[in-house]
Amino acid sequence: MVFLALVLGLAAGAGAVLWWQARPEPPPFRADEHAVELVLFGASPPHTLSNSRRTESSPLHLDGALLLSGGVTSTVLEIGAPHPSLKVRVPALPVTVSSTARLRSVQLRMTVRDCKTASPWTLGDRPFTIKWRDEYGQVHMDRAGDFGRSTAISLARYVDAVCKDPLK
């Protein structure tokens, strides 16, 4: 009886060791294969009239790039404004980014729609939205808009200037 208990104990222990060794490895960490980024790197002030007043419809021009940081070819469909009181136009859209063309230049034109709601607005982390369709037809939407201090200052100053303009 002792011999049988010893054999059963050894068999159970060996089975546990084999089960533990047969567990699948956790999947390796992979970056999002569907990631598309928006990077803003410059802002041009609106055009002014000869008397140095901003024309009412002059947008702030933002120079940027769309970057495929994943591995799936994607077509950017929309770039949304950081706040409902603002409007963003990107005349070049749609733009496709792929593994052979990861970086595409874009220019955004931002205007203020409503100063009452734009006045308390402040820049946040990645304040724009971006919508794209991947090569499999799936549509994605994410927060986007990485930029440096000078672009952030230009965005804030533009909103302040437009909303303090008596023509608005």
Q: Where are the domains of the chain?
A: 36-116+125-164
- Condensed to tens digits (0 to 9), the pLDDT of residues 109-121 reads 999 999 888 877 7
Q: Are 9 and 41 in contact (CB under 8 A)?
A: no
Domain 36-116+125-164 fold: Immunoglobulin-like (2.60.40)
* Closest C-alpha to 140, from 39, 30, 38: 38
Q: What is the pLDDT of residues 24-74, one digit of tens each?
A: 554 443 445 668 999 999 888 776 555 555 445 589 999 999 999 888 999
Q: Which of 2, 148, 121, 161 is nearest to 62 (CA)?
A: 148
pTM for the model stands at: 0.71
